[in-house]
Chain A
Amino acid sequence: MKKVTSLVLALALLCTLVTGCGSKKEEAAASGEGAKEETVELNLYYWDESFNDAMAKVVDTFEAAHENIKINVTTIPWGEYWTKLQTTLPTDSGPDIFWCNYMYSLEFIPNNLLLPIDTANIDTDQYAAEALDMLSADGQLYAVPFMLDTVAMVYNKDLFDAKGIDYPTADWTWDDLRATAAALTDENHYGYCLDYQSQMGTFNFLLQNGVSVYEEDGLTPNFNSDAAVEAFNFQYDLVFTDKSSPNASQLSELSKGDRFMAGQVAMTYCTSPYVATYYEALGDALGCVELPAGKEEACTLNAVGFAGSANTAHPEEVQMFLEFASTAECQELIAQNGMPACLDAAGTWVANFPEEVNAQAFISMLDVAHRLPLAHKSPAATRSAYESECGNIFAGTKTVEEGLNDAIAAVQAELGA
Chain B
Amino acid sequence: MKRKHKIEPGKVLLVLLLSLGGVVMIFPFIWMVLTSFKTFAESVALPIVWFPKEWNFNNYAQVLEKLDFITYYKNTIIYTGVVLFGQLFLCSLAGYSFARLKFRFKNLIFFLILAVLMVPPQMTLIPRYQMMNYLGWVDTYKGLIIPMIPSAYGTFFLRQFFMTLPRELEDSAKIDGCSYFRIYWNIMLPLCTSALVAYGIITAIATWNDLLWPLIVTNSNSMRVLSVAMACLQGQNGTKYQLLMAASVLSTIPTLVAFIIGQKHFIKGIALTGIKG
Q: Classify A-B as touching or not with yes or no (CB < 8 A).
A: yes
Residues on A lying within 8 angstroms of B by beta carbon are 2-3, 6, 10, 13, 16-18, 20-26, 43, 45, 47-50, 52, 72, 74-80, 83-84, 86-88, 91-93, 95, 254, 257-259, 261-264, 271, 273-274, 276-277, 280-283
Across the interface, A72 reaches (CB within 8 A) one of B145, B212, B216, B220, namely B220
CB distance from B143 to the nearest CB of A (A): 8
What chain A residues lie within 8 Å of B232 (beta carbons)? 49, 75-77
A-B contact pairs, 21 of them (CB 8 A): A10-B89, A17-B145, A20-B142, A21-B140, A21-B141, A23-B220, A24-B222, A25-B139, A47-B236, A49-B66, A50-B235, A72-B219, A74-B219, A77-B231, A80-B215, A91-B130, A257-B238, A263-B46, A280-B40, A280-B41, A281-B40
User: Contact at A262–B130, with CB atoms within 8 Å?
Assistant: no
What chain A residues lie within 8 Å of B211 (beta carbons)? 80
User: Contact at B181–A3, with CB atoms within 8 Å?
Assistant: yes
Across the interface, A92 reaches (CB within 8 A) one of B133, B220, B231, B234, namely B133
CB distance from B208 to the nearest CB of A (A): 17
New A-B pairs, 5, CB < 8 Å, besides A16-B82, A43-B219: A18-B142, A75-B232, A80-B215, A88-B129, A91-B129
Q: Is B233 positioned at the interface, with any CB of A under 8 Å from its CB?
A: yes
- Nearest residue (CB) in B for A261 is B44
- Tell me the interface secondary structure of chain A in the complex: helix
Q: Is B160 positioned at the interface, with any CB of A under 8 Å from its CB?
A: no
Q: Is B223 positioned at the interface, with any CB of A under 8 Å from its CB?
A: yes
What chain A residues lie within 8 Å of B221 (beta carbons)? 72, 74
Q: Is B29 positioned at the interface, with any CB of A under 8 Å from its CB?
A: no
User: Contact at B222–A79, with CB atoms within 8 Å?
Assistant: no
CB distance from B247 to the nearest CB of A (A): 12
Residues on B lying within 8 angstroms of A by beta carbon are 40-41, 44-46, 66, 82, 85-86, 89, 125-126, 129-130, 133, 136-142, 145-146, 181-182, 185-186, 211-212, 215-216, 219-223, 228, 231-238, 240
The answer for the CA separation of A206 and B125 in the assembled complex, in Å, is 39
The answer for the CA separation of A23 and B141 in the assembled complex, in Å, is 8
The answer for the CA separation of A24 and B138 in the assembled complex, in Å, is 11
Contact A273 to B236, CB < 8 A, known contacts A20-B141, A80-B212, A93-B138? yes
Q: Considering the complex of A and B, which 10 residue pairs feature the smallest CB-CB distances, nearest first?
A: A22-B140, A262-B46, A77-B231, A277-B238, A78-B236, A93-B138, A20-B142, A273-B237, A261-B44, A91-B133
CB distance from A99 to the nearest CB of B (A): 11
The answer for the CA separation of A138 and B119 in the assembled complex, in Å, is 41
What chain A residues lie within 8 Å of B40 (beta carbons)? 280-281
CB distance from A41 to the nearest CB of B (A): 10
User: Contact at B216–A84, with CB atoms within 8 Å?
Assistant: yes
CB distance from A48 to the nearest CB of B (A): 6
User: Contact at B233–A49, with CB atoms within 8 Å?
Assistant: yes
User: Contact at A74–B220, with CB atoms within 8 Å?
Assistant: yes
Across the interface, B139 reaches (CB within 8 A) one of A93, A258, A274, namely A93
User: Contact at B138–A77, with CB atoms within 8 Å?
Assistant: no
What chain A residues lie within 8 Å of B182 (beta carbons)? 3
CB distance from B225 to the nearest CB of A (A): 13
What chain A residues lie within 8 Å of B240 (beta carbons)? 280
What chain A residues lie within 8 Å of B146 (beta carbons)? 17
What chain B residues lie within 8 Å of A18 (beta carbons)? 142
The answer for the CA separation of A259 and B45 in the assembled complex, in Å, is 9
Most buried by B among A259, A261, A271: A261
CB distance from A384 to the nearest CB of B (A): 17
What chain B residues lie within 8 Å of A43 (beta carbons)? 219-220
User: Contact at A77–B136, with CB atoms within 8 Å?
Assistant: no
The answer for the CA separation of A277 and B40 in the assembled complex, in Å, is 10
Most buried by B among A3, A23, A88: A23
User: Contact at B139–A49, with CB atoms within 8 Å?
Assistant: no
User: Contact at A17–B133, with CB atoms within 8 Å?
Assistant: no
- Nearest residue (CB) in B for A10 is B89
